[in-house]
Copies of this chain bind each other. A is one copy, B any other.
């Protein structure tokens, strides 16, 4: 690390990744300076963060009247609306932007930050899945690095360090396999929302937990890896590693494999992106989590059952098709998961509805951001419509 603190902006500071980013900042006094904080609607937490980190800019994007009233009371000097996110992403004093908003709202500020020459620590999935074709060329054009903030991509990135792109045979992304790894197709049809929300190794929000149970999450990671590491889909594989200790691996043309391992924690990939190219010593910090091999004792590996987890193949297909297909994948999944969480559909119907939306969609080849947004919105509406057409019991057919 340079002697002067690295100056960062955190977009989405009140979300899970945003809060953990600030844990990292807190754990290494003097290493980072929070220049800008931006969040959506959690004004109370944002105000608390602003008091603690004294950023130069605070932004709250929500245009809700109640949120505005809270802002007037707690953060009268905060910027309001989407302009705040852009201002945080491009603030002159910022070196690195942690892009941790959820959804497509993060894409424009990320593009703006790239154009302003900021290094991007990217935690927002949609940015690359739906707009990788816009973001990656822009980053190359401006000589800006996109650093992954995600266990799997951070693992790949670490394993690729010091190696040559042309000598990579494949990226092997590990999957915990989710809570339904051992279940039959029949059992999966009967899964309750409660069962689906109980993930064996990671503690996450409901949407991500369901995506993890269906392996859609892994599918999105495959698409992200494709963009992040400029790797064709034929060279990206998924392997089940139930303990979530090995976070991914890279196989080289000489049959040598490099793996990255650590106890499951999002703090590590966040920290590694924030401090890159340095690694900061966690010993003695509240984040320390040293892995002891004799305690781990065993790592298991298994192939993914692609019949029971069709979301993975849907994601590969959407990724290969390109254009607006990944946006449809994401939009359709969002609505399908919401329907499952609301008890309206069964687990296997998530994949069925996404598959149906992808089939009905006419792909636009080199879509603008507006095209991507429209495709995603169309998919959400389409899945809602398709689900509504299904007679209440028909979904039990699987």
B257 touches A261 (CB 8 A): yes
- By a CB distance below 8 angstroms, the chain B residues around A172 are 293
Choose, from A117-125, A182-190, A222-230, A279-287, the stretch at the interface: A279-287
If A163-B161, A172-B293, A297-B301 touch, whether A282 touches B257 (CB-CB below 8 Å) is: no
Whether A254 contacts B268 by the Cβ 8 Å rule is yes
**How far is B290's CA from A383's CA once the two chains are assembled, in angstroms?**
42
Task: Choose from B263, B275, B302 the contact partner of A294 (Cβ within 8 Å).
Answer: B302
- Which residues of chain B are within 8 angstroms of A239 by Cβ–Cβ distance? 293-294
Residue A159, interface by CB 8 Å: yes
> What residues of chain B lie closer than 8 Å to A65, measured between beta carbons?
none
A263-B255 CB under 8 A given contacts A167-B278, A172-B293, A297-B302 = yes
Asked if residues B255 and A268 are in contact (CB atoms below 8 Å), the reply is yes
Q: How far is the CA of A368 from the CA of B200 in the complex (A)?
A: 58
Chain A, range 207-258, C-beta contacts under 8 Å to B? 239, 246, 249, 251-258
Structural contact, A260 and B256, CB atoms closer than 8 A: yes
A296 interfacial contact with B, CB 8 Å:
yes
Q: Are A259 and B259 in contact (CB under 8 A)?
A: yes
- Give the size category of A's interface with B: 35 or more
Instruction: Tell me if B253 and A279 are in contact (CB < 8 A).
Output: yes
Q: Which residue of B lies closest to A297 (CB)?
A: B301
The minimal Cβ–Cβ distance linking A5 to chain B, given in whole angstroms, is: 18
**With A161-B162, A162-B161, A239-B294: A280-B259 Cβ-Cβ less than 8 Å:** no
B256 contacts A158, C-beta separation under 8 Å: yes
Q: Say yes or no: B293 contacts A268, CB within 8 Å.
A: no
CB of A52 within 8 Å of the partner chain: no
**What's the Cα separation between A306 and B239 when bound, in Å?**
35
Contacts of A263 in B (CB 8 A): 255
Q: Which 9 A-B pairs have the closest CB atoms?
A: A162-B162, A161-B162, A253-B281, A294-B303, A293-B301, A254-B279, A167-B279, A299-B299, A259-B259
Sample (28) of A-B pairs whose CB atoms are under 8 Å apart: A158-B256, A159-B258, A161-B162, A162-B163, A164-B277, A164-B279, A167-B279, A167-B281, A169-B281, A172-B293, A239-B293, A239-B294, A251-B291, A252-B279, A253-B281, A253-B282, A253-B283, A254-B275, A254-B280, A255-B263, A255-B289, A256-B260, A256-B261, A256-B268, A256-B272, A294-B301, A298-B298, A298-B299
Extra 14 A-B pairs, beta carbons < 8 Å, given A253-B283, A257-B291: A161-B162, A161-B163, A164-B278, A239-B294, A251-B291, A253-B280, A254-B272, A255-B289, A257-B260, A259-B261, A293-B303, A294-B303, A297-B302, A298-B298
A residues lining the B interface (CB < 8 Å): 158-159, 161-164, 167, 169, 172, 239, 246, 249, 251-263, 268, 271-272, 275, 277-283, 288-291, 293-294, 296-303
